[in-house]
Structure 1
Amino acid sequence: MRSYKKRLGFTLVELMIAMVLGLVLLGGVLGIFLSNQTTNRVNNELASLQSSARLAFQLMSQDIKSAGFSGCNNSSRVVSIITGAPAWSQWQGGLEGFAAGTNGLSESLRLMYGAGESVSVSTHVPPVINTNASSTLNANDIAMICDDIQTSIFQVSTVTATTVSHAMGPALSCSADLGYQSPLVCADPRPRIFPSDSMLMRFESVLWLVAESTDDPTISSLYRQAIIAGNVVTEEVLFGVSSIRFAYQDGDLPFGPANFSAAVQMGNVTGVQVTLVMDANAYANANLPLEMRTIEFFASVRNRLR
């Protein structure tokens, strides 16, 4: 009697079931892979956004904290000797907010203060200020000199080892006098001689605003506008900012920053809350939701805290 050995193998049905199960498993693996890729892309975009925003906030916080510092506690009497009285030279207590569209596309904020390493005055024989140490100021810098009575803002004409001159010449200063009337009338200058131990330092005037990006006009950016050697220099700090909002804390009121309006008493502001909204088009690869694109921080005005 002939015997047959049973042949081992898969039937067509079994093979099809195995293929379907394999495809299902592969689909799950691919789904997890694509999900991880998307998550990784979002995390990278978010990390890039946060890193860039952190630098902007550090710069802005430093400006806000320093606002109003004149070196001699006399911020109520500041005289500008700058020709034409440009907005950047007109002291408004060191902090001034603007409505949307006044400067750039969104709200904006101007901050003024004395910066850098200060030096004391030994004698003042207009237009020459003699100092007790070498100054870090250079010709054409905007500077401020102060005593307990007054602060004067002027452009430096010349500098030597221990002297700083405020002569008219080709500089922006409209007078060789440092004036004692505020605002100064350049056609009617008033002399002001600062006593020994007055303080001399660089004058900083900064405007934060949002405007079209220089790289892509369809996307806006955050800018810091400063005065360097008498010239307005605008630096693009953070690409892809669709808007910026400021809220102001009145030092005479309980905590609760108020949005910009004519009712805000800028002279009483002791802190500023800043809200940045990043442009979705600048982070299109990650499709970040609005809450992830909205970044907020609060900075105190150190010189007004009491």
Structure 2
Amino acid sequence: MSAPPLLPSVRGRVRKAGQAGQAGFSIVELMVALVLGLLIIGGVISIFITNQQSFRTNENLGRLQENARISFELMAREVRQAGGNLCGASLMANVLKNATTAWTFNWDSGVLQGFDGAQVATGIVSTGTAFGERVDGTDALRVLSGGMFDGVTIVSHDDALAQITLNTVSHGFSAGERVVVCDGQSAALTKLTTATSGTSAVVAHDVGGDPTDNCSRGLGWPTSCTTATGNSRAFQPGGFVNRLTASTWYVGNNDRGGRSLFRINPATTDEIADGVRDMQLEYLLRNEATGVLDTTWVAADAITNWSSTASAQVVAVRLRLTLETQAAVGTNQQPLQRQLIHVVNLRNRPT
């Protein structure tokens, strides 16, 4: 038996349902979808750029803080030990022939000497625009110390032969090095004439004909260069022989078109920290007659006598560094700058 024919109204509904199932998006719907997609993509890109900028800013600020930490830590360690020796002796003899001409061991003129921005560090570093030269208008600081390393213990000292026996053959000294010899009574700055590391525990500090040699073999205080024997004195067992540390800190031009903190010593010029734009130093003085501290900090050009015999001694240094980020991450499309201050007290001051 065949099915009854569909009514016309039913056939119309079937056709319309089929037509609706085959319909696509209209042009208006497509345009709305595109606009919504662009808005979403724009928001994602905006978040990405913001996060990227935040990352760059935080990364550069982190590097700036790390450079500041390194600068203050290394400078403060040397400034704090200026004029020191491992024995705590306050009397220092200097038997080097050129003791008053070479900045690296001119102990008598001051173990700490500052240079204001307008003062020239003659014989140490030139001011200019070339790599490693000091930036005009920035301060510099020269530091000498005999207490920066562990040192080697003295077993015996034959002052007549100018020979010191140490407690180890692995002392690491070599001929030509400037060292500080000390015990509880006094200290002496001298040049080693012989030193064989690894085979002998004996080092010598004899006289020589070279302008950089010792004027006498006597290491007693006060210094005497009238004869080769000089002021003879045998240092006691338990004393120390330690390397002399001589360095000058300044802001110089790096090879990337910027500025950095530099440290120069007798052998090398080292770039310590990038992004240090400026260094300004101030000093606190103490009246040695009364023991009274000054009430104000002064610049280097206000100090005329840096020696240990000066009536006013520097007892603290205030370091003021201006650092900047490597990239232009500021809101004005310029590198960010920070100015940080650190105060260092000197341990080895005459009393």
Q: Label 1:125 to 1:190 Cα distance change in 2 as closer, same or farther (>3 A).
A: closer
Please show how residues 1-306 of structure 1 align to structure 2 within 5 Å: 1=9, 2-3=12-13, 4-5=16-17, 7=20, 10-75=25-90, 77-83=92-98, 85-91=101-107, 92-100=109-117, 102-103=120-121, 104-105=134-135, 106-115=138-147, 116=149, 117-120=151-154, 122-126=156-160, 128-131=162-165, 133-134=167-168, 135-146=171-182, 150-160=186-196, 161-169=200-208, 170=210, 172-178=212-218, 191-197=230-236, 199-213=240-254, 215-216=255-256, 218-227=257-266, 232-250=267-285, 252-253=292-293, 257-263=297-303, 268-279=313-324, 282-284=326-328, 287-291=334-338, 294-304=339-349
For 1:172 and 1:127, how far apart are their aligned partners in 2? Answer: 20
Amino acid at match of 1:102: V
For 1:78 and 1:46, how far apart are their aligned partners in 2? Answer: 47
Amino acid at match of 1:99: D
Tell me how far 1:47 sits from its aligned partner: 2.4
Q: Label 1:90 to 1:121 Cα distance change in 2 as closer, same or farther (>3 A).
A: farther
Q: TM-score, normalised by structure 1?
A: 0.79
For 2:201 and 2:273, how far apart are their aligned partners in 1? Answer: 39
Alpha-carbon deviations, 1:86-128, whole Å to 9, x = none? 1121124422111125242221111111133142362332451
Alpha-carbon deviations, 1:240-283, whole Å to 9, x = none? 32222223344543787544441488563333232322355x43
Alpha-carbon deviations, 1:148-182, whole Å to 9, x = none? 66533221110253432222334722423447687
2:141 alignment partner, SS class: strand
Alpha-carbon deviations, 1:165-219, whole Å to 9, x = none? 222334722423447687x786777712123415432211111112222x33x32
Q: Label 1:180 to 1:189 Cα distance change in 2 as closer, same or farther (>3 A).
A: farther
Amino acid at match of 2:57: V
Tell me how far 1:78 sits from its aligned partner: 4.1
Tell me how far 1:59 sits from its aligned partner: 2.1
Conservation of the 8 A alpha-carbon contact between 1:80 and 1:90: no
Identity %: 25
For 1:127 and 1:221, how far apart are their aligned partners in 2? Answer: 47
Q: Label 1:127 to 1:205 Cα distance change in 2 as closer, same or farther (>3 A).
A: farther
Q: Label 1:70 to 1:276 Cα distance change in 2 as closer, same or farther (>3 A).
A: same
Q: In angstroms, what is the RMSD of aligned CA positions?
A: 3.5
Q: Label 1:288 to 1:235 Cα distance change in 2 as closer, same or farther (>3 A).
A: same
Q: Mark the structure with the bigger radius of gyration.
A: 2
Tell me how far 1:29 sits from its aligned partner: 1.6
Tell me how far 1:63 sits from its aligned partner: 0.8
Q: How many residues align?
A: 296
For 1:75 and 1:122, how far apart are their aligned partners in 2? Answer: 22
